[in-house]
Chains A and B, each alone.
Chain A
C-alpha cells in the first residue's frame, strides 16, 4: 500500500493522508474540529477534487483543524500528486 500526505496538524490547517487501496472505492475519513458544522462541505470538496483527478482505489484521511476550503483543496491536490510521484512499485510511507 502506498501513502502520501500533505499539510500540518495545526490550527487553521489540515493534514491529509492519501493511501492506495485494493477496492475500487474512495473511502473518506474525516476528523475535524468543525465536523458538526462543516463535515458535509469537507466531504463535498474532497469528492469533487478526487473525481476531477479521475482517481479511485483511495483511502483519504482528513485531519482538519479548521482549514478554509482553499487550504483543504491545495493540501489534497498536493497529497494526490505526491502519491502519484511515488509510482506503482514503491512501498514507502510518506
Chain B
C-alpha cells in the first residue's frame, strides 16, 4: 500500500464484522466509551455484543461513566469478555457485583478531570475509543449536533478520540455533505460505523437529572440562592457551575431573576448545561456557556445558533495538568452529596449503607478549583442522614469545601470567616456543621455501623491520580 492508497481508504462500515477486519480487536485490549447519552445509550450494547460474538476476552472497559442501562455488562463479566472496569460512576447490577467481590479486579473511579489527565499522561492507554456521535461524514468528521439523535456537546468523546490509538465513530446518521460543525476531526478518526440507532435521546434526562421538585428542594434552592447572593462575592462577571437536578434548576431561576433586576451578568456558566442556563444565556444574565455535557438535547439548537454557547472538551473543562482548565476560573460552585461529615469531607459515590449509588462526575475537580464551593443537600433522605461523623468514602476532601446548605439551615467552615461575616451582616443565620449533624441525628437517630471486609472493591482516585480512598467489599 502506498501513500495515495492510504488516503483513499474507505472509513465507513455497515457491519461490525467488516469493521473488526479493519480495526483489529484482541484479547486484553482497553476500549473506551463516553456517557453523553446517559440512560439512553445503545452504542455500548451494540459494540460489546459484537465483541462478545467474535470471542474476544479480557477487555478493559474504560467508560467516562456507566448507567443502569449498562446492566447487560454483568453477563460479560461473567463470561470473561470484560475483565476490568474504569469509570466515573457505577449503578445497578454492576455496582452490586463490584461490592460483592464478583469482579475480577477492583473498579477504578476517576473524576472527569482525572479521566482527562489519565488518558493524556499515559496512565490509561486506550486501544480503541468507540464514540457515539449523532452525525458523521464520509471523511470521519463527527458531531453530536446534527442527525435524528442529536444530544449536544461531545465534550468527553472529543478527548477520547484525540488520545486513543484508534478511534471508531459510531453513528446512525451519515451526512452526505461535509459537516459544518466539527467536534471530532477526521484527522483522529480511523473508522465510521453506521448502526440503526445510537440510542434514545430521551434517556439523557433520565437518572439523576429529575426535574420534578418537591417543597424540600425549593427550600434548599432558596437557601442556596440566598447564600450565593450574600456570601460577599461580586456576582457581576463571576463564573458559576450549578450542577443538575431540581435544586440546581431552581437556584438558576432565582439567580436569573436577581441578576436581571440588577443588570448584572455572570461571566460564564460551566459544566453540565441545563435548560435553565440556556434561558439565562438568552436572557443576558450569563455571558457565555462552556458546555462539556448537555443535560438537555435542547442544547443542540443553542450551540448551533448562539455563538456564546461553546462546546468544550473535558480537557479544557477540568484536566488538572494542562495549562488552563476552565474550572480554575470558577468563583462559585454548587455541588451535591450523598454524605458530608463534620470534617467537611464529601461522598458522592457510595451511600451510608456502603452501596455504590453515584458517580464522581466533576465533583473533585470543581471543588478543588472554585473560590467558593457550596454543598447543597437535604439534612436526611428517607431516614438516611446526610451529615455524618465520618463519610463512608471520601471523594472530595473537606479542605475543598466551604459551605453546606440544607433545608434546616446553612453551615460555613470556621476558616471562611470572610463568608461567615458577609452572611451574618446580611442577617443570615450561620450554623456550625456540628449543629446540623445534631439536628440530623435528632430526626434519624444513630444508624448502625456497617462492617466491611479488607477486600478492595473500588479505588477512588484524586484528580492527580493518587488514591483518595478505597471502597471495600461488604461483610
The reply to whether B381 and A38 contact each other, CB–CB distance below 8 Å, is: no
Among B353, B383, B447, residue most surrounded by chain A Cβ atoms (within 10 Å): B383
Asked if residues A69 and B445 are in contact (CB atoms below 8 Å), the reply is yes
Please give the distance in Å from A45's CB to the nearest CB on chain B: 9
Chain B residues contacting A37 (CB-CB under 8 Å) are 352-353, 383-384, 447-448, 450
In the assembled complex, the CB of B213 is this many whole angstroms from the nearest CB of chain A, namely 14
Could you tell me if B450 and A34 are in contact, using CB atoms closer than 8 angstroms? Answer: no
Task: Give min CB distance, A40 to chain B, whole Å.
Answer: 6
Minimum CB–CB distance for B26 against chain A, Å: 43
B448→A67 contact, CB < 8 A: no
Taken together as a complex, chains A and B put the C-alpha atoms of A6 and B448 apart, in Å, by: 27
Q: Are B382 and A12 closer than 8 Å at their CB atoms? A: yes
Q: Is B444 an interface residue (CB 8 A)?
A: yes
Q: Which A residues, 43 to 94, have Cβ-Cβ distances below 8 Å to chain B? A: 65-69
A68–B380 Cα distance when bound, in Å, is: 10
CB distance from B406 to the nearest CB of A (A): 16
- Cβ-based interface call for B443 (8 A): yes
Q: Which of B369-406 contact A (CB under 8 A)?
A: 380-384
A68 to chain B, nearest CB (A): 6
What residues on A are CB-neighbors of B443 within 8 Å? 68-69
State whether A38 and B383 are in contact (beta carbons under 8 Å apart), knowing that A68-B443, A68-B444, A69-B445 are contacts in the complex: yes
Q: With a CB–CB cut-off of 8 A, which chain A residues contact B381? A: 66
In the complex, A24 Cα to B382 Cα: how many Å? 34
Chain B residues with CB under 8 Å of A38's CB are: 383, 444-445, 447-448
Central interface residue in A37, A65, A67, by most chain B CB within 10 Å: A37
CB within 8 Å of A: which of B437-465? 443-445, 447-448, 450
Interface size class of A (residues with CB under 8 A): 10 to 19
Chain A residue nearest in CB terms to B382: A66
Given A11-B382, A34-B382, A40 and B448 touching (CB < 8 A)? yes
Closest A residue to B383 by beta carbon equals A66
Report the bound CA distance from A67 to B380 in whole Å: 11
Query: Smallest Cβ distance from A74 to chain B, in angstroms?
Result: 14
Which of A12, A36, A39, A67 has most chain B Cβ within 10 Å?
A: A36
CB within 8 Å for A34 and B445 given contacts A12-B382, A66-B382:
no
Residue of B nearest to A70 (CB): B443
The complex places the Cα of A29 from the Cα of B445 at a distance, in Å, of: 21
Which chain B residue shows the least CB distance to A11? B382
Q: CB-CB < 8 A to B383: which residues of A?
A: 34, 37-38, 66-68
Which residues in A have their C-beta under 8 angstroms from that of B382? 11-12, 33-34, 65-67
Closest to B446 in A: A41
Nearest CB on B from A37, distance (A): 4
Complex: how many Å from CA A91 to CA B381?
39
Report chain B residues within 8 Å CB of A68. 380, 383, 443-444
Interface residues of B in 302-356 (CB under 8 A from A): 352-353
Interface flags, B51-91, vs A, CB<8A=1, else 0: 00000000000000000000000000000000000000000
Can you name the residue of chain B whose Cβ is closest to the Cβ of A13?
B382
Q: Give A64's nearest chain B residue, CB to CB.
A: B383
Docked pose: A40 CA to B448 CA in angstroms = 8
Smallest CB-CB separation from A14: which chain B residue?
B383
For A12, list chain B residues within 8 Å (CB): 382
CA distance A66 to B385 in the complex (A): 11
Report the minimum CB–CB distance from A12 to chain B (whole Å): 5
How far is it, in angstroms, between the C-alpha of A69 and the C-alpha of B446 when the chains are bound?
12
- Selected A-B contacts with CB under 8 Å, 29 pairs: A11-B382, A12-B382, A33-B382, A34-B353, A34-B382, A34-B383, A34-B384, A34-B447, A36-B448, A37-B352, A37-B353, A37-B384, A37-B447, A37-B448, A37-B450, A38-B383, A38-B447, A38-B448, A39-B448, A41-B445, A65-B382, A66-B381, A66-B382, A66-B384, A68-B380, A68-B383, A68-B443, A68-B444, A69-B443
Q: Which residues in A have some Cβ–Cβ distance to B below 8 Å?
A: 11-12, 33-34, 36-41, 65-69
3 nearest CB pairs, A to B: A66-B382, A37-B447, A66-B383
